[in-house]
């Protein structure tokens, strides 16, 4: 059994919506090393986000997911069944992206044929045997994309998260979280794209998500 480890991040002022008085948790995940990326920009960005926080009323938890289908799935299940967050945001590396952040609207259930870090893929290339073909996030990513800008990094909107661990994780979280999940693809680290700049971008994006969630519940 793999232990599910969380880090509690720092907090700053922010007004948000709450499902109940005891559930102000937002979970943000990144991925560990894979292939040639011994330093995964998604996890580095999440660690920088944890330094900035999401507001004094938000209990921000961060964790690193392995680039392994089944282990990632198990950890996502435990996030939703043990922490019951108001929102889970998953951050992954888009190796082809150059100074671009991609906001993913939905997760897909089938088509997972590419091998993970352990050389396996889901049976039948399927995430959830009883699940729908796709699940949409309750967050309107196109609205987020229109409402924000990040210095030095372009932001785009997408409906295809790539049919690998990122998409698989996203679908799993949308499934267990009844749509209360989001996925953000970030580019590899470079001279122009630093972990600090990505952490700042994540803070801006997730705060906008929380703001949108609050407006939806008013």
The full set of domains in the chain, from first to last, is 24-215 (3.40.630.20)
Q: What is the pLDDT of residue 160?
A: 96
Active site residues: 104, 166, 185
Where on the phi/psi map is residue 75: left (φ > 0), alpha (ψ -120 to 50), or beta?
A: alpha
Q: What is the pLDDT of residue 110?
A: 97
Tokens 């999440």 sit on residue: 46
State pLDDT tens for residues 146-192: 999 998 899 999 999 999 999 999 999 999 999 999 999 999 999 99
State pLDDT tens for residues 5-28: 455 443 333 333 333 434 699 999
């Amino acid at each position: 059994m793999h232990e599910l480890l969380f880090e509690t991040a720092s907090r700053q002022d922010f007004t948000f919506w709450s499902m109940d008085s005891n559930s102000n948790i937002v979970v943000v995940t990144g991925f560990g090393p894979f292939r040639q990326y011994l330093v995964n920009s998604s996890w580095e960005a999440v660690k920088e986000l944890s330094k900035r926080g999401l507001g004094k009323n938000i209990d921000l938890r961060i964790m690193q997911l392995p680039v392994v289908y089944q282990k990632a799935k198990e950890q996502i299940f435990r996030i939703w069944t043990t922490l019951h967050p108001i929102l889970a945001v998953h951050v992954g590396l888009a190796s082809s992206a150059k100074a671009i952040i991609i906001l993913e609207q939905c997760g897909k259930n089938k088509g997972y044929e590419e091998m993970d870090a352990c050389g396996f893929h889901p049976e039948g290339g399927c995430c959830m045997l009883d699940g729908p073909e796709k699940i949409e996030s309750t967050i309107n990513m196109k609205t987020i994309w229109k409402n924000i800008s990040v210095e030095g990094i372009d932001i785009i909107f997408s409906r295809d998260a790539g049919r690998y661990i990122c998409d698989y994780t996203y679908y799993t979280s949308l499934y267990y979280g009844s749509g209360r999940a989001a996925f953000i693809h970030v580019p590899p680290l470079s001279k122009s794209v630093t972990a600090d700049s990505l952490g700042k971008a994540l803070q801006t994006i997730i705060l906008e998500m929380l703001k949108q969630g609050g407006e939806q519940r008013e």
